Amino acid sequence: MENKKSKTDSRRQFIKNISTGSLLAASGLALYSISSCKDKSKEKTTLLTPEGKLVQVAKSDIEAIEYKPVSPLASRTGIPGKKFVMVVDLAKCKNARKCVKACDKHHKLTPDRPYIKVLEMKDNEKSSNYWMPKKCFQCDNPPCVKVCPVGATYKRSDGIVLIDNERCIGCRFCMAACPYSARVFNWAVPPKEDQDIAYSPETSIPSKIGTVAKCDFCPDMLRKNKLPHCIPACPNGVIYFGDEIDDTVTNGEETVRFSTLLKDKAGYRYMEELGTNPRVYYLPPVDRLFPFKKDSKQEIES
């Protein structure tokens, strides 16, 4: 009996030990914290350790981290030991716009001020058109932060650039400074049902009229060890997200090495010559999964 208990304890200790690093679920749901058992199910899932090893873990040993909205002051500190990065594979995008809808729903955005825009692109007269999802690039050298006169826009240690709407005075200097036109202005009063919610820059809810907003990489989801809403919403696996320190990214279907993905598929950063050092990378639209097609309904929404 004691021997059986000892083996069980050892197994649980092993699981706790591997949870000290980032664990990317091969199923793509995201990062998990391993803790005490609540679900008695014997079903197992595959996790990838930071060392690149796949391990089988019972789902009963996995417990999602409970998220509590952080204050504007606490939100200025990034998630320790993380450097978040995103990769967009242009060869997979067909303008399904599921990412846009998921983002709008989560941040309670109106169609006139989306955080994600899917642009029709064409590199030269002889090349074909392609779709390019564009959002905030979370620059490591962000012009928006430098011009903000009240410190409402700031860069965190985990690579994310956030806006504190309780400090924002609506001067829109940051909108003028952003070379990517990634920011939107809050013209409307937030819905009544949101007005009593405790505000946090990590959720951007409730919005505040007369302030600026943008894509934020969904820090509230990251604190729960889940992917930003746009990624699992995409039906084609266009967007990869992960931690540059762990050198691992996932699109919810496959988990790959960040550095290998960029090297093998000639990854690049949009308008990198500006020196903003974006944390969003693109893979060229080579060997595309879908031929370019402009749907009339999608064109109206764009």
**What does the pLDDT look like over 147-203, one tens digit per residue?**
999 999 999 999 999 999 999 999 999 999 999 999 999 998 888 888 888 889 999
The pLDDT of 62-89, averaged and rounded, is 84
Return the HEC string of the chain.
CHHHHHHHHHHHHHHHHHCCCCCEECCCCCECEECCCCCCCCCEEEEECCCCCEEEEEHHHEECCCCCCCCCCHHHCCCCCCCEEEEEECCCCCCCCHHHHHHHHHHCCCCCCCCCEEEEECCCCCCCCEEEEECCCCCCCCHHHHHCCCCCEEECCCCCEEECCCCCCCCCHHHHHCCCCCEEECCCCCCHHHCCCCCECCCCECCCCCCEEECCCCHHHHHCCCCCCHHHHCCCCCEEEEECCCCEEECCCCEEEHHHHHHHCCCECCCHHHCCCCCEEEECCCCCCCCCCCCHHHHHHC
pLDDT at 195: 82
Give per-residue pLDDT as tens, 191-248.
888 888 888 999 989 999 999 999 999 999 999 999 999 999 999 999 999 999 999 9
For residue 296, pLDDT beyond 70 = no
> What are the chain's domains?
2-63 (no CATH), 74-283 (3.30.70.20)
